[in-house]
Every structure is written in structure tokens, then in C-alpha cells.
Amino acid sequence: MTADTHAPGSTGFDPQLVAAALEAALSLPRTIPVFALGGLQGTGKSTLAAQLADLAQSRGRRVAVLSIDDFYRTKAERERLAHEVHPLLSSRGPPGTHDLELAADTLDRLLAGRSTRLPRFDKLADERAPAARWPLVEGRCDLVLLEGWFLKVPAQQLDELCAPINALERGRDPDGTWRGWCNAALARDYPPLWQRIDALWWLQAPEFEVVPEWRWQQEQSLQAADMRRGGGRGGMDRAQIARFVQLFERVSRQALRTLPTIAERTIRLDAQRRPEA
């Protein structure tokens, strides 16, 4: 599972919330339902997915866990987009930087009950992990969990793209080529993947301004986990994180505006990532 280790409290989400999510997922009509967990960077969506999977497995259910992040295009593919379309497309994250054919094929294999390798992306290496390291789901599973930061987010209207919203857009995309291309990809290419989702629960951050700090905490956890494994590969520093989250800001703000009315359930978080009553 892609690491997203900072969740509400020291032990994750309240067990009653986890149990309610599992009940909702298993009550979906599809034989193998796809239950999605959305939230901006650092909200704890992967932690909630892990708790859900653990609870399901403790009840004898077989679960496949996927993240939209694990379907990022390879570094070579993104460099090609950067050369052909816009230099900012070398950076993973925004719509258009995912291998949607791989994502759709993976979900379709799982939904057909076939043995399936689950792709994984190495964020510190900024590269798709070798296929030999992808976990194998053998045979039919009972539930597919898909987590991601912009699942089901609708594209913006063209007039909403005109004005840059941060320093990165003003300096690197003054004419709107990059944001226009990403928005077009979001409108054109992602809905077929979203249609495979049976239900979405959305973790609503209080505002976008908390995301840089939450993403920095996540980065520290990624680097610490790498050190424990003997890696020491580095990663991004705080200034790089501050720039990195600007790549996500436009679609993140669109998510905060729209997903509470799209998701089957919205869980509002406070600034400490605690669900509000």
C-alpha cells in the first residue's frame, strides 16, 4: 500500500467509523464492489484503507488495496509528455500523469475474479516499482479498496482556468497550457475509471492551506520508513514540498468545492485530522 501514515490520533480512525465503512462497502450490490476512499494529501486515506482491509480480513474477507498514486506514468513517459506538451508534466501528480490503461486493466481483472498483480509506485525513487515487487492477489477477492486524492473530481469550466492561482502557475504556466491540458485530461480520460467505483467516502480537509504541512509530515514518514529499511535515498525537503503541493492546488481546491456533494459520505476533518462530530 502507498504510505500515507498520518491519520487522526495515534492509532488511526475510530473503530466504529471503520466498521461503518466496511458495512457500507460490503452492502454494495456488485459481487466484487469497488469502495473508494478520497482525501487530499495527508488526510489519512491510506491509513483508513489499511484499517478497513485489516477488519475485513479479520472477518474472513479477501481484499485488494490500490491507490491512484500507484498508477503514475513512468519517469520516461512523463519526460516524453514534458517534451511534447509542457515541462511541468515531468512531475507526477496532476491529471494526465497516470497510466489509465493500466488502472482500468487492473480493476477489470480484479472485478472478473482473476489473479492480479497490484502495481506499486516508489515515491522516493519517483518511479514505478519493478513488476516483480508488485503484490499478487491470487484468485477472487471479496472487496476492492481504491484510495486517491482526486477520485471523481469534475473538471473545471474553461473560464475558471484563466487566472493563475499560485506562484508555480504564474511562473511556469503563465499562458495556461499545462493547467488546460490537465483539465482536459480530467474531463476526457478519467470518467471511465470513475465509473468502476461503486461508492466514495471523502475525507474533507478544513481548507487547502493545511495540505503543505500535512504533506511535509507524510514526506518525513516516507523518509523515516526508508531509513528503517536501510535505504537513505533522501526525498524532498520542506521547500520542495511547498513547491510540489502547488502542482495539486488547483484540482485540490476543486475537490474541496465539489466532492461533498458527489461522495456517498463526507467525513469532515479538523486541522489535527480528527473527524468532526
Q: In this structure, are residues 103 and 69 in contact, taking their beta carbons and an 8 Å threshold?
A: no
CB 136 within 8 A of CB 119: no
Per-domain residue ranges of the chain: 17-268
For 214-243, write each residue's pLDDT tens digit: 887 877 776 777 777 776 666 778 788 888
| CA distances from residue 87 to 18, 91, 177, 190 in whole angstroms, order as listed | 41, 8, 10, 22
- Determine contact, residues 65/50, Cβ cutoff 8 Å: yes
pLDDT band at 69 (very low <50, low <70, confident <90, very high): very high
| DSSP E strands, the chain | 34-39, 63-67, 116-117, 121-122, 127-128, 136-137, 143-148, 199-204, 265-268
For residue 2, pLDDT over 60 is answered with no
CATH of domain 17-268: 3.40.50.300
Least confident range of 45-49, 125-129, 208-212: 208-212
Contacts of 112 (CB under 8 A, 6+ apart): none
Residues 136-188: tens digit of each pLDDT? 999 999 999 999 999 999 999 999 999 999 999 999 999 999 999 999 999 99
Query: CB of 36 within 8 A of CB of 197?
Result: yes
Pairing verdict, β 34-39 and 143-148: parallel
* Distances 50 to 45, 46, 93, 154, 172 between C-alpha atoms, Å: 9, 6, 22, 27, 37
- Asked if the model's pLDDT at residue 3 lies above 70, the reply is no
Please answer whether residues 11 and 76 qualify as being in contact, where contact means their C-beta atoms are separated by less than 8 angstroms: no
Which cell numbers hold the place of 108? 477489470
